[in-house]
C-alpha cells in the first residue's frame, strides 16, 4: 500500500465512514503557528497539530531546534488528536507536504501501520472540488498505544561516519549547503561528505510527489543504491522527513538524522565543509 493518498481517495474514506483520523500540520519557518489558517478552512474532521509543541520535544541548543518528542509526549498528543489503534491516519499541510512529512515519520516510527500523506497537500484537496469547513475540531480522545524505533535513524556520530560507506543527503537550499549564508543556525556550511539534494526537487510544480521511478532516478544520480545506506538531514529535522518519505516512495530505506544541521552546528568540535563540493573547505 502506498503511503500517499489522493484527495478523491480520502474523500471516499470519509464518505464511507472508515476509521480515518485527519491531521492538519500547517507550519512554516516564517509562520510556525498555523491555527488561524486552519480555523479559516480545513478538511472536514481534520484536527490541528502544532508542529513546534506536539511534533518536537524540548532540549538544549546542542540537541537541535526540533528534537524528537519523547514517546510518552507523542502518545499523549496522538490520543488528544483522537487516534485509536487500527486507525488510518492522513496528514497534510499547505506547503507541498514539507511539514506533514514530519508527522508521517514520527507516527510511522511509533508503530502506526497506516499513515499516509495527502498528495498535493491542501491545494490538491480544493483543486479536486472537495469542501473545507471552518472552526476547530476537538475529537473524542483516542486510545492508541505507541512505541519507538520502527524507522532507522542516525546519531550525530553516525551521520559523520556515513559518507565513508554510503550517501548522506543535505536537503537544505544550495545557498545554505554551500555556506553562503546561514539565517538560523550558529555556523554556515554542511557536514563533510554530504551531498546537496534540496527538498523541493521531490515534488512537481503543484506540490505533488514525483512518481517513484522519477524519484529513484533523482536519487540514483546522487549515488544512492540499494546496496549502501542513505541518510538525510536538513536544518532541524523537519524537511529531512520529506526526503525520507520520497526515498521510501522510491524503494529505499532511508536513515533520518533528527538533530540535523541545527545540532551539528551547535557542536564546535564538529568540522564544517563550505562550498559546492561534499568535502568543501573547512
Reply yes or no on whether 222 is catalytic. Answer: no
What is residue 281's predicted lDDT score, i.e. its pLDDT?
A: 61
Tell me which CATH code domain 4-127 carries: 3.40.250.10
Q: How far are the Cα atoms of 14, 102, 106, 109, 140 from residue 50, in angstroms, in the given order?
A: 23, 11, 14, 18, 18
Query: 10 pLDDT band (50/70/90 cuts)?
Result: very high
What is residue 28's predicted lDDT score, i.e. its pLDDT?
A: 85
pLDDT at 153 over 80: yes
Q: What is the mean pLDDT of residues 187-205?
A: 96
What is residue 282's predicted lDDT score, i.e. its pLDDT?
A: 53
Q: Enumerate residues 6+ apart whose C-beta is below 8 A from 225.
A: none
Indicate if the alpha-carbon torsion angle 112, 96, 206, 197 is positive or negative. negative
Pairwise CA distance, residues 125 & 12, whole Å: 12
pLDDT at 232 over 60: yes
Which of the following is catalytic: 95, 234, 273, 274? 234
Which residues, listed in sequence order, are joined to residue 21 by a DSSP beta bridge? 89
CA dihedral 203, 204, 205, 206 (to 10 degrees): -80
pLDDT at 1 over 80: no
Q: Would you list the domain boundaries of the chain?
A: 4-127, 156-264
**Of 3.40.50.10860, 3.40.630.30, 3.40.250.10, 3.40.640.10, which CATH number belongs to 156-264?**
3.40.250.10
What is residue 279's predicted lDDT score, i.e. its pLDDT?
A: 75
Convert the pLDDT of each residue in 29-77 to its tens digit.
788 888 999 999 999 999 999 999 999 998 899 999 999 999 999 999 9
Extract the runs of DSSP E, i.e. beta strands, from the chain: 4-5, 20-24, 47-48, 88-92, 115-118, 167-170, 195-196, 230-233, 255-256
Convert the pLDDT of each residue in 88-135 to its tens digit.
999 999 999 999 999 999 999 999 999 999 999 999 999 999 999 999
The three grid cell numbers given for residue 9, joined into one nine-digit string: 481517495
**Angle (deg, nearest 10), helices 71-80 and 100-109:** 110
Q: Which residue has the cell 544541521?
A: 261
Query: 2 pLDDT band (50/70/90 cuts)?
Result: confident
Q: What is the mean pLDDT of residues 180-194?
A: 94
Which pTM value belongs to this model? 0.95
Domains 4-127 and 156-264 share a fold: yes
List the alpha helices (DSSP H) in 111-269.
121-127, 156-161, 174-178, 212-221, 240-249, 260-264
What is residue 149's predicted lDDT score, i.e. its pLDDT?
A: 82
Question: Hey, what long-range contacts does 35-42 have (CB within 8 A, 24 or more apart)?
Answer: 37/94, 38/136, 39/134, 39/135, 39/136, 40/134, 41/132, 41/133, 41/134, 42/122, 42/132, 42/133, 42/134, 42/137
Amino acid at each position: 500500500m502506498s503511503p500517499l493518498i489522493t484527495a478523491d481517495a480520502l474523500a471516499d474514506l470519509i464518505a464511507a465512514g472508515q476509521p480515518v483520523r485527519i491531521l492538519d500540520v500547517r507550519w512554516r519557518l516564517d509562520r510556525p503557528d498555523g491555527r488561524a489558517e486552519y480555523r479559516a478552512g480545513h478538511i472536514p474532521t481534520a484536527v490541528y497539530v502544532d508542529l513546534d509543541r506536539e511534533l518536537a520535544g524540548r532540549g538544549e541548543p546542542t540537541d537541535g531546534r526540533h528534537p524528537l518528542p519523547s514517546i510518552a509526549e507523542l502518545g499523549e498528543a496522538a490520543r488528544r488528536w483522537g487516534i485509536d489503534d487500527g486507525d488510518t491516519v492522513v496528514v497534510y499541510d499547505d506547503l507541498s507536504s514539507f511539514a506533514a512529512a514530519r508527522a508521517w515519520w514520527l507516527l510511522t516510527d511509533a508503530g502506526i501501520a497506516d499513515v499516509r500523506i495527502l498528495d498535493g497537500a491542501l491545494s490538491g484537496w480544493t483543486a479536486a472540488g472537495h469542501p473545507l469547513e471552518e472552526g476547530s475540531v476537538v475529537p473524542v480522545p483516542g486510545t492508541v498505544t505507541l512505541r519507538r524505533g520502527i524507522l532507522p535513524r542516525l546519531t550525530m556520530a553516525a551521520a559523520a561516519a556515513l559518507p565513508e560507506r554510503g550517501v548522506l543527503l543535505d536537503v537544505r537550499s544550495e545557498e545554505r549547503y554551500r555556506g553562503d549564508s546561514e539565517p538560523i543556525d550558529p555556523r554556515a556550511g554542511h557536514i563533510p561528505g554530504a551531498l546537496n539534494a534540496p527538498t523541493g526537487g521531490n515534488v512537481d510544480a503543484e506540490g505533488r510527489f514525483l512518481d517513484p521511478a522519477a524519484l529513484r532516478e533523482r536519487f540514483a544520480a546522487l549515488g544512492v543504491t540499494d546496496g549502501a545506506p542513505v541518510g538525510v538531514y536538513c536544518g532541524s529535522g523537519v524537511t529531512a522527513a520529506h526526503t525520507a518519505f520520497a526515498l521510501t516512495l522510491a524503494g529505499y530505506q532511508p536513515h533520518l538524522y533528527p538533530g540535523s544541521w541545527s545540532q551539528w552546528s551547535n557542536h564546535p568540535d564538529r568540522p564544517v565543509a563550505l562550498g559546492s563540493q561534499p568535502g568543501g573547505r573547512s
